[in-house]
Amino acid sequence: MPKNTFFNLPEDKREKILDSAIDEFAKYSYHKASINRIVKKSGIAKGSFYQYFEDKKDLYKYIIDISTQKKLKYLTYVMNNLNRLNFFQIVRELYLAGIKFAKDNPKLSEIANNFVRDTDSNLKDEILESGIKKSNNLFKQLLTQGIDNGDIDPNIDIDLVAYVITSLSISISEYFIKEVKGEDEMEIMAFVDKMLYIIENGIKNKNKGN
């Protein structure tokens, strides 16, 4: 966590520092990102930076935190309706929220994705305790429920499917940002529905009349 001095700063200055840092971490990986560039961009002295933050990791942690908090806000609807929605509806809402978050916060989203994909497990472990495994477990739970309800094919491998759905959630928001760039809500929903159609039904032609 940043020091008190950082939170005592006037808002515009605090924002400028954060924006510069977010720019930097969106452009460069954690290790390549440079405090020197960040302080130059923010127009503060190097020494001041260390009045605000313990070290580089402290700042990075804080930004990952901001990203997580913001994304969670997009997910509240899903979280509040876990009982009322079935598995496919939940996945649909999660994907939708994920894309909306990425569209509204492209840099934060990129930082978070890079973080998840990063292979430096030491850094990861220090920053969050098995956060990904948590979301994986959520899917596993939902899948088990779905099988009990009869919604989901009992033949599937739950662990595998949970893993697939988790990694797809990153892929599809990246794909959407890169390739679709849809503007309105309808387009996003149409895209998510296409994705979900595949997860639900697969891609085999069931009407094949050979």
Partner DNA sequence: ATATAATATGACTACAAAGTCACATGACCT
Partner DNA sequence: AGGTCATGTGACTTTGTAGTCATATTATAT
Q: Are 198 and 91 in contact (CB under 8 A)?
A: no
Q: Is 171 in the site for a copy of itself (CB under 8 A)?
A: yes
Residue 50 Cβ, how far from DNA at the closest point, in Å? Answer: 4
Judged by CB under 8 A, the number of residues near a copy of itself is 45
- Give the phi and the psi of residue 156 in degrees, each rounded to 5: -75, 160
Q: Is 57 in the site for DNA (CB under 7 A)?
A: yes
How far, rounded to the nearest angstrom, does the alpha carbon of residue 48 sit from its chain's CA centroid? 31
Q: Scanning residues 19 to 48, which ones bind DNA (CB under 7 A)?
A: 33-37, 44-48
Q: How many other C-beta atoms can be found within 10 angstroms of the C-beta atom of residue 100?
A: 17
Q: Mark residues 109-148: x for contact with a copy of itself by CB under 8 A, - for none.
A: -x---x--x-xx--------------------------x-
Exposure string of 37-63, with b = 16+ CB inside 10 Å and e = fewer, is ebbebbebeeebbbebbeebeebbbbb
DSSP secondary structure letter of residue 28: S
Q: How many other C-beta atoms can be found within 10 angstroms of the C-beta atom of residue 93?
A: 19
Q: Is 29 in the site for a copy of itself (CB under 8 A)?
A: yes
Q: Which does 182 bind (CB under 5 to 8 A by kind): a copy of itself, DNA, none?
A: none
Q: Where do contacts with a copy of itself occur on this chain (CB under 8 A)?
A: 29, 31-32, 88, 110, 114, 117, 119-120, 147, 150-157, 159-161, 163-164, 167-168, 171-172, 175, 179, 191, 194-195, 197-206, 208-210
